[in-house]
Amino acid sequence: MAELTNDQSRRIHPYKFTLWVAMGSITMMFAGLTSAYIVKRNQANWAMLELPVIFWYSTAAILLSSVMLYLGVKAFKERRLSRYRTLISLTTLLGTLFLILQVIGFYQFGKQDIKLVGAGSNPSYSFLLAIASLHGLHVLGGVIALLVLFGKALSTKYRNYSSIPIEVAATYWHFVGLLWVYLILFFNWMR
């Protein structure tokens, strides 16, 4: 019986396994997109782009949100639920701030008369918009997951002290944060 329990404790939870498979797929998608960016960059009509400074502020927001969520998971495991609620709400707010700053950044391109899509646009700007928008959708999914966890944390009807949901959400959140760091460094390096 002890062998069975020990064997079960070494197995990865199905939710965590599914998340790792999904993150592998997402990584492959962004690797393909950034590879295509590198290949297309050699075209004659390619324009070098410079990201507005606000994208660095959004980077700070998503990295700070990752720290808040790390502390939130720790608070949850210590059963400090009021601290957990505070930290998960801060994480959600910072994730939302990240998305807002991203949108403002793309509006700044418009103020510079840079067309991102359509007639008069350059493929480099369109690539940037496509890649950043796909990343933004993944962040939005993470924000929705955090909102669900926050709702459960406020619920008085249902108390579940399993850390699996918050661990899965945190792993995903750290992943999209690191993915953005890769993307912003990539776009700055490939100018």
CA distance 65 to 30: 22
The pLDDT averaged over each successive group of 10 residues in the chain (191 residues) is: 56 88 95 92 81 95 98 94 93 97 92 78 84 96 93 75 89 97 91 66
Q: Which two tokens stand for residue 189?
A: 């390096």
pTM of the predicted protein model: 0.87
The ranges assigned to domains in the chain are 2-43+52-189
By the 8 A CB rule, do 174 and 95 touch?
no
Cβ proximity of 26 and 138 under 8 Å: yes
CATH 1.20.1250.20 fits 2-43+52-189, yes or no: no
pLDDT of 7 reads 54
Taking each helix axis from N to C end, the angle separating 81-111 and 164-189, rounded to the nearest 10 degrees, works out to 30
Residue 42 per-residue DSSP state:
T
SS3 letters across 150-162: HHHHHCCCCCCCC
Residue 5 is predicted with a pLDDT of: 52
Q: Collect all residues with Cβ–Cβ distance below 8 Å to 71 and sequence separation of at least 6.
A: 83, 87
CA distance 46 to 37: 10
What's the confidence (pLDDT) of residue 127?
86
CA distances from 119 to 36, 41, 93, 122 (A): 21, 19, 36, 9
